[in-house]
Each structure stands twice: as structure tokens, then as C-alpha cells.
């Protein structure tokens, strides 16, 4: 019998009280236990950014966080980015700029972009590239993604 | 992965107690190295002791030298305005470490205790003559970082000991410094070679009073290039002397060949990067 540990966590505004296997990563917990499959597993070792989520206001790789560590945490995943049925400006900018090809990296890109714009509303192109350096995309060559981030920045700064 | 106990201690004493109680307990700070090790079964803990929320260990201050809590995140170093003004090279070492997702979690103590030969803060803090504060049930001891690394992923920490603080002595002479990493990709990849240099010189001149040159990824542990330092100390930093010192540093490096680069290429990089680092400092004045 595997010992489980109590975790209270808020994900996308909803409170959960669960018992988790200590070996379970936050990524596995979100996908398998909460059925929030928008967060993707790419490399599963912190190199690709596909599993990015916002944990207590900071973007992290959820594959390198244990679910037990998230006790008392506030988490936002890609499913929590939209407001009601409206796409978030970052999501809309990705659609409008055609910044999506296969789409696998997109949730991580959007979540990381949202975290960046919360932290610094007006990043330079260089700062954007540095902030997104941990989010790999194998399709686009990044040009349209950077276009989308620039567009999102402008829309959000216009208010 | 075998299962393990998970403990979140309220105090350092409780953490040390758990370290002693289990056969193979691991401290969890940022987890960015530990979890990867567990996934690859190179680390098989019977207990994870989650210390990341222990009080008073995640900040830094100037108090008879700089004191960095072992749980300070790499991102906190990177964005600190205070450090940008006093020791901007620390921010360079931070920014060259992994992605933002990693830097938000990874800690200074974790970077040192994981003891990778290419650990950014291994090289950086070696070049700053750092001293480590280490706590165990028998009390506190201090150890120069120079004596801390004993091999790849191995340190002088004994069972039941916790690294709590990294201290930069007031007289370390780290008025100027630079951190350089060369990697194939521009972003997150591990460095082929890292160079950290701190310099103390007569103000407004190229007269070197003291220089510390540390190298990463060119030996089983981060290391100082003592011969190169000796060439430069108490001399003017002329182009000829810088070239000689850079060659000395390259001679001192004992890198391996692996899939990232050959040993010869790494030695050539050391020579180029040491010269570049010193010239960067000279050009900045």
C-alpha cells in the first residue's frame, strides 16, 4: 500500500482536497487526476516548456514539481487563461498571428507569455526571446510566435 | 521509481533530524536537478525532505560580507536591482542558467550541492572566494567553497549536514566581475565551458591587484585557474600578459570529450573566453 499525502490546492479558481502519491509530478496530477490535459508532457525533464504552468504567480515546468509540493499553492493552467468564454488577448493574438502549427507547444507558450506580461508589461524583443527561451517549438521557426507575443503586448497595453 | 516518504519540516533542526533518521534522504529545494535524477534512477531517495519553505533561508543581504541564503532562487538573483548595481556578474551567471521555468525554482544551494562540473554558481562563487555555512546536529561549521567540490555530483557534505548560507567575505575584492558561458544553442543548453572572473585593480588603471579566474565544465569539478591568476596578479593587464594568462588557464583545464565538444575544443574555448572576459572588464571602465 503506497502512502498518500494530503494536498489542498487551488487550480484555475477551483479548490481541491486530494490524496496524492508522493511520486506523482504536478504535471501528472493535473492531467491524470484533474483531467486538465491542456498542459502537455514533452521532454518530462524540464527542457521543453510544454508543461509550463503558473505556480504562485511564477511560471514553472510542472514536470519538475511534485504534486505534494503544491500543497496550499495557487495554480493556473492553460484552461484557466481564458475569461469566461472569451479567449485571453494572448490566446487571440496567437490565433490572429497564425502562431500555431501542430499546437503541442502552444499551451506552454501562451501560459509563459501571460506570466511574462504580468511580470513586465512592456518587454523588449530581446526580453521576450529570453523569457520564451525555455519553450521549444519544432514547427514554426518562432517568427509567428514572436509576432503573436508582440501583438498581445500591444493589445494589453492599450487596455 | 520506488516510493518514498515525504516530509515537510517546520525547522532546520527537524530537517537535520530526518536526514539522520533515513538511510538515503534527499533535501528538496527547487527540485530541478533532484527530480531529473529520480526520473533517471540515478537518485533513489527513501525520503524527500522538502525544505523550500523554511524561514529566513531564501533571501540575501549585506551584513559583514554578502550572505546568500541557500534557498535563494536563481531568478531572485537575476532580477535584483541591488545586485545589478553592486555585482552585476551574479546576474549574468543567473541568466545563463536554464530557462525562466527553471530559474524560478532552482536555488543557489541546490546548484552548489548538485555539484555539476558545469554549475554556474560553482564557478561564479569560486571566483568570489565564497565560504559556506553548514549546519548539522553537532552545530555549525564553515568551509571554503574551494574545498567543497570533491568530484562530479559529489561534495564534502557529510550525512546529516545542510548547506544554509553562502558568504562572500568583505575583503574578497569582487569589485568587478564577469560570467561567460559558451554553448551551442544560445538559450538553455548546458555550457561547453563557463568562465567566471572577478578583478580588483587600482582604480582607473590596468594594474591588477587581485584576480580570480574560475572555470566550469573543464574538470571533474568547477576549478580555479591558479597559474593564470599568478601571471596577472600585481601586473599591468597588457594584451601580451592577458594572452599568456589565457594560455595558462587553457593548460590548467582538464576537460573531457563528450557529445557536446572535444577536450581540445574546450581547451581552445578556455583560452578565448579568459581573454575575452578580462578584455570585457577592461573595456567597461
The predicted-structure confidence for B228-285, as pLDDT tens digits, reads as follows 999 999 999 999 999 999 999 999 999 999 988 999 999 999 999 999 999 999 998 7
Chain B interface test: which of A26, A39, A69, A76 (most B C-beta within 10 Å): A69
Distance CA A149, CA A91 (A): 9
Residue with cell 523569457: A131
User: Residue B67 corresponds to which cell in the numbers above?
Assistant: 550572505
Q: Is the pLDDT of residue A55 over 80?
A: yes
Distance CA B65, CA B80 (A): 17
Q: Is the pLDDT of residue B217 over 90?
A: yes
Distance from CA of A66 to the nearest CA of B (A): 8
Residue in B3, B52, B188 closest to A23 by CB: B3
Backbone angles phi, psi at A138, to 5 degrees: -95, -5
User: Residue A111 corresponds to which cell in the numbers above?
Assistant: 501560459
Q: Is the pLDDT of residue B187 over 70?
A: no
Chain B interface test: which of A23, A44, A51, A54 (most B C-beta within 10 Å): A23
Domain with CATH 1.10.150.120 in chain A: 89-158
Predicted confidence at residue B184, as pLDDT, reads 81
What mean pLDDT do residues B190-195 have? 91
Compute CA B277 distance to the chain's CA centroid, rounded to the nearest angstrom: 17
What mean pLDDT do residues A25-50 have? 97
Domain with CATH 3.10.20.30 in chain A: 5-80
pTM: 0.96
What mean pLDDT do residues A107-135 have? 96
The total of other beta-carbon atoms located within 10 Å of residue A136's CB is 21
Predicted confidence at residue A83, as pLDDT, reads 85
Backbone angles phi, psi at B257, to 5 degrees: -95, 135
> Any chain A CB within 8 A of the CB of B36?
yes
Q: Is the pLDDT of residue A1 over 80?
A: no
Domains and CATH numbers, chain B: 5-50 (3.30.43.10), 60-171 (3.30.465.10), 173-284 (3.30.390.50)
Predicted confidence at residue B45, as pLDDT, reads 97
The predicted-structure confidence for B121-171, as pLDDT tens digits, reads as follows 999 999 999 999 999 999 999 999 999 999 999 999 999 999 999 999 988
For chain A, list residues whose CB is within 8 angstroms of any CB belonging to chain B. 2-3, 5, 21-23, 25, 44-47, 49, 52, 58-61, 63-66, 68-69, 71, 112, 116, 130-131, 133-135
> Any chain A CB within 8 A of the CB of B42?
no
The top-level CATH class assigned to A89-158 is mainly alpha
Integer CA distances (angstroms), A113 to B29, B74, B187, in order: 26, 20, 17
Q: Is the pLDDT of residue B226 over 80?
A: yes
Contact B129, B212 (CB under 8 A): yes
What percent of chain B shows pLDDT beyond 70? 98
Predicted confidence at residue B62, as pLDDT, reads 94
Let me know the angle formed at the C-alpha of B76 by B139 and A134, rounded to the nearest 5 degrees.
120
Distance CA B123, CA B41 (A): 27
Distance CA B103, CA B84 (A): 17
What mean pLDDT do residues A36-60 have? 97
Contact B125, B112 (CB under 8 A): yes
Residue in A25, A52, A130 closest to B101 by CB: A52
Predicted confidence at residue A15, as pLDDT, reads 98
The answer to whether A134 contacts B3, with C-beta atoms less than 8 Å apart, is no
CATH number of A5-80: 3.10.20.30
SS3 of B267, please? helix
Amino acid at each position: 500500500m503506497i502512502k498518500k499525502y494530503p494536498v489542498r490546492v487551488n487550480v484555475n479558481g477551483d479548490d481541491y482536497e486530494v490524496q496524492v502519491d508522493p511520486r506523482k509530478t504536478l504535471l501528472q496530477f493535473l492531467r491524470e487526476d484533474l483531467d486538465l490535459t491542456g498542459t502537455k508532457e514533452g521532454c518530462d525533464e524540464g527542457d521543453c516548456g510544454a508543461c509550463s504552468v503558473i505556480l504562485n504567480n511564477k511560471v514553472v515546468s510542472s514536470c519538475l514539481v511534485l504534486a505534494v509540493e503544491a500543497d496550499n499553492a495557487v495554480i493556473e493552467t492553460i484552461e484557466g487563461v481564458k475569461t469566461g468564454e472569451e479567449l485571453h488577448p494572448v490566446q487571440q493574438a496567437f490565433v490572429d498571428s497564425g502562431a500555431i502549427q501542430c499546437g503541442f507547444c502552444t499551451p506552454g507558450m501562451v501560459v509563459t507569455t501571460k506570466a511574462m506580461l504580468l511580470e513586465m508589461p512592456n518587454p523588449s524583443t530581446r526580453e521576450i526571446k529570453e523569457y520564451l527561451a525555455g519553450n521549444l517549438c519544432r514547427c514554426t521557426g518562432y517568427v509567428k510566435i514572436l509576432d503573436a507575443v508582440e501583438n498581445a503586448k500591444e493589445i494589453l497595453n492599450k487596455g | 521509481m520506488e516510493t518514498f516518504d515525504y516530509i515537510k519540516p517546520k525547522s532546520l533542526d527537524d530537517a537535520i533530524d530526518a536526514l539522520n533518521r533515513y538511510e538515503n534522504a534527499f533535501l528538496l529545494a527547487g527540485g530541478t536537478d533532484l527530480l531529473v535524477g529520480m526520473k533517471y534512477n540515478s537518485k533513489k531517495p527513501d525520503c524527500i525532505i522538502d525544505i523550500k519553505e523554511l524561514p529566513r533561508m531564501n533571501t540575501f543581504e549585506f551584513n559583514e560580507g554578502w550572505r546568500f541564503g541557500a534557498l535563494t532562487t536563481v531568478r531572485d538573483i537575476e532580477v535584483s536591482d541591488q545586485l545589478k548595481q553592486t555585482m552585476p556578474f551574479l546576474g549574468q551567471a543567473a541568466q545563463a542558467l536554464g530557462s525562466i521555468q527553471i530559474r524560478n525554482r532552482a536555488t543557489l544551494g541546490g546548484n552548489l550541492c548538485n555539484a555539476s562540473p558545469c554549475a554556474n554558481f560553482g564557478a561564479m562563487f569560486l571566483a568570489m572566494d565564497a565560504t559556506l555555512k553548514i549546519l548539522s546536529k553537532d552545530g555549525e561549521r564553515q568551509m571554503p567553497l574551494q574545498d567543497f567540490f570533491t568530484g562530479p555530483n559529489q561534495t564534502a557534505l557529510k550525512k546529516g549536514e545542510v548547506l544554509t548560507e553562502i558568504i562572500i567575505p568583505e575583503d574578497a575584492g569582487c569589485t568587478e566581475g564577469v560570467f561567460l558561458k559558451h554553448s551551442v544553442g544560445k538559450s538553455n543548453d548546458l555550457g561547453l565551458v563557463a568562465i567566471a572572473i572577478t578583478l580588483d585593480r587600482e582604480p582607473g588603471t590596468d594594474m591588477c591587484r587581485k584576480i580570480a579566474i574560475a572555470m566550469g565544465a573543464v574538470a571533474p569539478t568547477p576549478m580555479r585557474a591558479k597559474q593564470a591568476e599568478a601571471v596577472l596578479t600585481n601586473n599591468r593587464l597588457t594584451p601580451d600578459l592577458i594572452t599568456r594568462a589565457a594560455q595558462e588557464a587553457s593548460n590548467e583545464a582538464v576537460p573531457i570529450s563528450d557529445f557536446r565538444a572535444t577536450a581540445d575544443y574546450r581547451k581552445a574555448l578556455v583560452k578565448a573566453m579568459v581573454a575575452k572576459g578580462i578584455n570585457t572588464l577592461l573595456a567597461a571602465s
